[in-house]
Structure 1
Amino acid sequence: MSLDSDIEDFVSCLEHERRYSVATVASYRRTMKKAIEALSSQAPQIKAWTEIGINEMRILAREFNFGQDAQKLSSSSVAHDLYVLSSFFSFMVMKERLNQNPFELIKAPKVKRPLPKILTGAELSKLLDIEAKNPKELRDLAIAELLYSSGLRVSELTALRLSDYDAQEEEVRVVAGKGGKTRIVPVGGKARERIAAYLNSRSYFNPVDDALFVSRYGRAMTTRAVEQNLKKLAQKAGLNIDLFPHKLRHSFATELVENGADLRSVQEMLGHASLAATQIYTNLDYVHLRKVYDAAHPRAHIKSKEHR
């Protein structure tokens, strides 16, 4: 089989068997396309992955910055590309097209995860307390409230159907793009009020399908449209911030952790596959506790020379 056909088989497996999100599949495809381009330009004699040898491994290592002294890319980019290549070759071994995965012994660089950026309480109040003056603002405020109330990913929000929202049970059914797993998440009182106001005006958009949040064309909103509308909402609120949907999701999780929610529950509500992804919010909680300590403890600011 050709280089391209094996990759298409791999991508098909990601889409239909592992049920990865569209964005994740696209990122995997980009990495593999980059690998093919590197081999085509530097080792044009290679026509199949079974022909990969030590020289071709060196080509890929240089292309993807796997060397010890390479500093061109961030550690997260290098780790991602290494994971994709290793996953592809594992797939080839599973399909018995290769005997071993040449990338399994390469160690990925340690990735220092930055703390998530969140909104302050004052910023949240200014954003969510806006008075809506038209159906579009009713919709966008309902979206902002739901993202903050329930911690959804923007891709999950745009995939919601009318039947997924249950006002009586005060919950929403979410199908996660990552793995296609379903979870039930509570919806707070303020969010329910905003959603009810939006639903009363939903007919304004002349909906042509059952998407919960529809665009001016009557169809399900795109993630890009949600992002743009949230930025406009932030401007209307007088906030000098770059507002992304994920900031509301991070704010949701941080509020839960700061107020004593256990990590397993937060993990479930966020739809994280592992607890490790949720633990980043414990670091934020420590930052919060440190600020409280510094502001409140009478001996927090005593300089060391006073103890000499």
Structure 2
Amino acid sequence: MNKEIQQFLTYKKNYHNVSLRTIKAYQSDLTTLQEHCCEHKVDLTQGILELMEQLHQNAQLKPTSLKRKMITYRMFYKFLVTKKQIEPDIEFEHYRASYIIPKKMPRTLKIREINQLLNYMYQRLSDSRTSLYQKRNCIRDIALLELLISTGIRISEASSINLSDYDQIENSLLIYGKNRKERMIYLSSTETRQALLTYLAIREQFHPSDQSFFLNKYGERLSIYGIENIFAKYIDLANIDTHATPHYLRHTFATELLNNGANIREVQELLGHSSIVTTQIYTEVSIERKKYVLNSFNYRNELDVKTSK
């Protein structure tokens, strides 16, 4: 099965634009499945059902992890069936597992925290004590975080941007989302546009080895891990008391759009969600929008009986 696993991983990496972290998760899940099938001498579909039942009964994993594993195994099964490496298993295809997943609200940063973050970064850049090497990195980091804040793109999307994807005349970026789905985003923020131009003016100082937009210290494409480290560094330096990840910026972007009156379909398109169901979760945390709706349309506000002055 090892050969088939490698073929599947190569396929997902080349044709579905998934991150290295996702590839590693696929590999871990499939290696566990391979070991189970070999140990118990069962075929693929029987091994999947046995392993998932075992994990479920032992309560070793959260429902979200169980669901993710099952999705991985189904993708692998469909890949092998499509490649005619195994015969279809109708019973397996009709099998439906139910993992009750608790509803979690998207976590966001407060506007004052984002202001605090950006203020620190710009102050660090202008500080005479900051070395030239640190200034170079700071210019890149400001451009990166300005982009994440003002567009809500995923860090995997930011990492995969190439120079040719940026249209300076139209102030737009071509983004490759999940499954290589393309969308064009407009850079509405003057500060973000200026930060990107400032970075591009000194990009050669990173000695680029390719056409990647954001570069690490070796002149290579800045990875998602590099982006996470940059974000964590400035969150700490800016004394923001939170366990936030860069994805909080995406949640904040979506929530604030809804707070300010954006249509949920428009938010769906900007975020690159395939289904509006994914976008609807942000309506749950849009407090300002709730205030507006209730203050404007709650019929109790118009009743004659008043106890408050």
TM-score, with length taken from structure 1: 0.81
3-state SS in 2 of match to 1:129: helix
* Distance in structure 1 (CA, Å) of the matches to 2:237 and 2:293: 31
Distance 1:74-1:139 versus aligned 2 partners, 3 A rule: same
Instruction: Check if 1:98 corresponds to 2:82.
Output: no
Match of 2:37 among 31, 36, 39: 39
In structure 2, the gaps of 5 or more residues are: 127-134, 302-306
Q: Which moved more, 1:207-216 or 1:9-18?
A: 9-18
8 Å Cα contact 1:89-1:103 kept in structure 2: no
Q: Percent of aligned positions with the same letter in both sequences?
A: 28
Name the amino acid aligned to 2:146: E
Matches within 5 A, 1:64-143: 64-65=55-56, 67=57, 70-96=58-84, 97-101=86-90, 102=92, 104-130=94-120, 131=123, 132-133=125-126, 134-143=135-144
Deviation of 1:151 (Å): 0.9
Aligned-partner Cα distance in 2 for 1:287–1:170: 30
CA drift of 1:185 comes to 0.8
| Whole-angstrom distance in 1 between the partners of 2:232 and 2:15 | 36
Residue 184 of structure 1: SS of its match in structure 2? strand
Counterpart CA distance in 2 for 1:240 and 1:111 is: 28
Deviation at 1:207, TM superposition (A): 2.6
Matches within 5 A, 1:137-156: 137-156=138-157
How far did residue 114 of structure 1 move?
1.5
Mapped partners of 1:23, 1:115: distance in 2: 23
For structure 1, list consecutive stretches of 5 or more residues without a partner in the other structure.
Answer: 301-305
1:258 alignment partner AA: N
Q: Which amino acid aligns with 1:5?
A: K
Amino acid in structure 2 at the alignment position of 1:262: N
Q: Which amino acid aligns with 1:114?
A: K
TM normalised by structure 2 equals 0.80
Q: What residue in structure 2 maps to residue 271 of structure 1?
A: 272
CA distance in 2 between partners of 1:19 and 1:138 (Å): 28
One-letter amino acid of the counterpart of residue 255, structure 1: E
Q: What residue number does 2:167 align with?
A: 166
Match of 1:59 among 44, 50, 63: 50
> How far apart in 2 are the matches of 1:229 and 1:16?
27
Question: Structure 1 pair 193/17, CA: closer, same or farther in 2 (3 Å)?
Answer: closer
Query: Shift of residue 80 of structure 1?
Result: 1.2
Q: Distance in 1 between matches of 2:7 and 2:219?
A: 36
User: Is the CA contact (8 Å cut-off) linking 1:78 and 1:108 kept in structure 2?
Assistant: no
Runs of 4+ displaced beyond 6 Å: 291-294
Q: Going by fraction, where is helix more abundant, 1 or 2?
A: 2
The residue type equivalent to 1:180 in the other structure is R
Q: What residue in structure 2 maps to residue 5 of structure 1?
A: 3
Q: Give the AA of the match of 1:119.
A: L
* Structure 1 CA distance for aligned equivalents of residues 15 and 208 of structure 2: 33
SS at match of 2:285: helix
Q: Would the alpha carbon gap of residues 139 and 243 (structure 1) be closer, same or farther in structure 2, given more than 3 Å must change? A: farther
SS at match of 2:261: coil
Call closer, same or farther: CA 1:195–1:18 in 2, change over 3 Å: closer
Aligned counterpart, 1:303: none
The C-alpha deviation readout for 1:25-79, integer Å capped at 9, x for no partner, is: 33222212111112223x1x44x54xx65xx5663234432x4xx5331110111
Shift of 1:16: 4.5
- Is the contact made by 1:206 and 1:217 (CA closer than 8 Å) also made in structure 2? yes
Deviates more, 1:240-249 or 1:3-12: 3-12
